[in-house]
Amino acid sequence: DQQVKQNSPSLSVQEGRISILNCDYTNSMFDYFLWYKKYPAEGPTFLISISSIKDKNEDGRFTVFLNKSAKHLSLHIVPSQPGDSAVYFCADQAGTALIFGKGTTLSVSS
Amino acid sequence: NAGVTQTPKFRVLKTGQSMTLLCAQDMNHEYMYWYRQDPGMGLRLIHYSVGEGTTAKGEVPDGYNVSRLKKQNFLLGLESAAPSQTSVYFCASRAGDLQGNYGYTFGSGTRLTVV
């Protein structure tokens, strides 16, 4: 069974609006979840993380929310910009390696 | 500071051929990883290493071998390439001491096509 699930393959948002990307997980024992952003022909780059002892972490336009009872986390981007168009991966720090979801392609139109 | 460097960037192989992908990092990181990315599948862990001379299997290790003879290098080998190994391969490294963003650095990828 997938440890990290991103059920929406794609999301389209208008510039200036909020983008919400979702991630569900099955592992009950974890330390951190991380979000990575990936542009075509480049490696993933770290965006934001959240630890198991927090419900929210904010960094500029990016906020990650963690709902432990629902085993769900979400990434909010406000306001969305065309440069945010990329693939976003949710990742679980499981043991010694990152376990990734399948990714969500975000398209922000101007 | 180059970070994580992958060579080659592109390669086309015939079925049955062998090749080695090289990952080099200059950050003195303990941990190194090989992932593959396929459409709709995200990044899946192939093999990883927690230090020089060590290797371990990840989620999809079949058909691949790895070696970590030097701390800065992590090699991924395909002994007999198959079309199913057509993918984009990413190497990553991180320090052994986890902090903040967990300090993973990814290379820019190797696009491999097996025909």
Cα–Cα distance, A74 to B91 (Å, whole number): 26
State residue A3's pLDDT score: 85
pLDDT in tens, B69-91: 999 999 999 999 999 999 999 99
B44 beta partners: B36
Using CB atoms, pick whichever of A34, A42, A96 lies closest to residue B101: A34
Subunit contact B108:A42, Cβ cutoff 8 A:
yes
Kindly tell me if the per-residue pLDDT of B98 is higher than 70: no
Identify the pLDDT of residue B40.
84
Inter-chain touch A49–B101, beta carbons under 8 Å: yes
pLDDT of B96 strictly over 60: yes
The pair of structure tokens assigned to A42 is: 């480049």
Q: A2-43 pLDDT, tens per residue?
A: 689 999 999 999 999 999 999 999 876 666 899 999 999 899
- Dihedral angle, C-alpha B44, B50, B55, B59, nearest 10 °: -20
What confidence score (pLDDT) does residue A97 get?
87
pLDDT tens sequence across A66-92: 999 999 999 999 999 999 999 999 998
Q: For residue range A38-57, list pLDDT tens digits in order.
A: 999 899 999 999 988 899 99
Q: Are A44 and B48 inside 8 Å of each other by CB?
A: no
CB atoms within 10 A of CB A106: 21
pLDDT averaged over every residue in chain B: 93
The DSSP result for chain A, as a single string, is --SEE---SEEEEETTS-EEEEEEE--S--SEEEEEEE-TTS--EEEEEEETT-SEEEETTEEEEEETTTTEEEEEESS--GGG-EEEEEEEEETTEEEE---EEEEEE-
Residues of B in contact with A45 (CB under 8 A): 106
